[in-house]
Amino acid sequence: MSQQFDLVVIGGGPGGYEAAIRAAQLGFKVACIEKRIHNGKPSLGGTCLNVGCIPSKALLDSSHRYEATTHDLAEHGISTGEVKFDLDTLLARKDKVVDQLTGGVAGLLKGNGIEWLQGSGKLLAGKKVEFTPFEGDVQVLEPKYVILASGSVPVNIPVAPVDEDLIVDSTGALKFPEVPKRLGVIGAGVIGLELGSVWRRLGSEVVVFEALDAFLPMADKALAKEFQKILTKQGLDIRIGAKVAATEVNGREVTIKYNQAGEDKEQVFDKVIVCVGRKPYAEGLLAEDSGIKLTERGFVEVNDQCLTSVDGVYAIGDLVRGPMLAHKAMEEGVMAVERIHGHAAQVNYDTIISVIYTHPEAAWVGLSEEAATEKGYTVKAGQFPFAVNGRALAAGSAETAGFVKFVADEKTDRLLGMHVIGPNASDIVHQGMIAMEFVSSIEDLQLMTFGHPTYSEVVHEAALAVDGRAIHAIQRKRKK
């Protein structure tokens, strides 16, 4: 290739394309290599935009609107008669949203003068990049810098081999041609709960199998307990400590054989979704002599600034340590570019937010009460429910589930974590994230004025509750 690039990004997902755009803004000549084909055509946006975050949220929103119409409007005095949904239209809307966003990313790259190289990239020795286009000859690029951003893929398990027909992964679960009457979900993590919720709302009888003996062990225990109770009430059959031993396909049915509490059991389903996690995708990414070091789990080894073992080569997102979250990849991509440009950029991994987009949503940032205690903090915590919040009550009973909880250091009053279940939790949790970024105390939140009536008033009350001062609750502990 005649062009010389300052930076080559391998991977056009959220981390990769944001890194490319920021580099172009800083004056670099940039190429972004992406090999994904979606619906028969090259597509940017990675897993997130094509088969992950965005299409799943489109289905979550559509299915929630259907359920709200059929279950929640009567209390408002609204009668609708018979309500139906058209699955083909629902799925087509999901695809339209994906096309709009992926097309927008292509426009952003073009508008910033970034060369989108359609095909696959491999890092060679000496920081060279081998580019294999869909059509044409293999070319070797010699950029000054490289960012590896190839993302991740679903983990497969031998006991439930994915055939993308009766047993599917998270991608296949986005395009069922009809609503399965009986749906089994293996894995009670974020993806399993979200996809299980989608199809449960549309009419499936959903059973979720979780091998671990605890529900959402990475979350605050109070949040996990409340969340499981809410989802169970909604109709998700969540079986904790249920270890799947085998799956057996018979005609158009799948039998899941599992062990729970020492007892062997089995159940028949029409479809099964396997959602047991994701792993870094490095297939064909690295030549044997590239110089890149991998961890035992297959992640690219990097330092706190995402620099690999090869000078000038960075790796970001799901390819490296830390949570597999699009927003984490985005910030790492921008950080890598800023470091290349000589800026002292850094990602604060203590304030990476986690969200589950069910309804109600669940979200958290920072330390759980249990994790803070394990780290040696003298913990004080407080929470406040949406059930007595004026805005939530006015919106309807579907908006009153859940709470906001704060975890703080008793000695310094410093905010350590925030945990939310409830309406708009994915947005509300950012208030805690911002407070933590500015090393705020609980008193800082207590002294702020929150608009009335708003959902965010629960944030204020929860901060007050940490010191026994919540106004709209009778508390045992009080302060003057």
The annotation status of 291 as a binding-site residue, yes or no, is no
235 among annotated binding-site residues: no
Task: Provide CB contacts within 8 A for 295, sequence distance 6+.
Answer: 301, 321
Give the Cα separation of 213 and 260 in Å (integer).
10
Closest CA to 366 of 309, 307, 442, 293: 442
Helix (H), strand (E) counts: the chain: 12, 24
| Nearest residue to 44 via CA among 141, 135, 115, 127 | 115
333 annotated as a binding-site residue: no
| Cα 325 to Cα 322: distance, rounded to the nearest angstrom | 9
Report the b/e string of 160-170 with b at 16+ CB within 10 A.
bebeeebbbbb
The answer to whether 302 and 313 are in contact (CB under 8 A) is no
DSSP strands (E only) in 357-414: 361-366, 379-385, 403-409
User: Is residue 191 a known part of a binding site?
Assistant: yes
Helix H, strand E, coil C: the string for 64-103 is: HHHHHHHHCCHHHCCCCCCCCCCHHHHHHHHHHHHHHHHH
* 324 is annotated as contributing to ligand binding: yes
| Strand pairing category for 253-260 and 263-269 | antiparallel
CB 35 within 8 A of CB 120: yes
Q: Is 189 annotated as a binding residue?
A: yes
For residue 325, say whether it is annotated as part of any ligand binding site: yes
Q: Is 187 annotated as a binding residue?
A: yes
User: Taking a C-beta distance cutoff of 8 angstroms, is the pair 72, 396 a contact?
Assistant: yes
The yes-or-no answer on residue 452 being catalytic is yes
Is residue 121 annotated as involved in ligand binding? yes
The answer to the question of whether 160 is labelled as a binding residue is no
Helix%, strand%, coil% for the chain, nearest 5: 35, 25, 40
190 known ligand binder:
yes
* Token reading at 86: 């058209």
Candidate list 64, 419, 452, 472, residue with the active-site label: 452
Please tell me whether 192 is known to bind a ligand: yes
Backbone angles phi, psi at 434, to 5 degrees: -65, -45
In the structure encoding, which two tokens stand for residue 380, read together? 């004080």
Q: Count Cβ atoms within 10 A of the Cβ of residue 1 and give its class: 0-12 exposed, 13-18 middle, 19 or more buried.
A: middle
- CA angle 289–304–45, rounded 5-degree value: 75
Confirm or deny that 210 is annotated as ligand binding: yes
Q: Which residues are annotated as a binding site for NAD(+)?
A: 187-194, 210, 277
**What residue numbers does the annotated binding site for FAD cover?**
57, 121, 318, 324-327
Task: Mark the binding-site residues, compressed into ranges.
Answer: 57, 121, 187-194, 210, 277, 318, 324-327
Active site residue ranges? 452
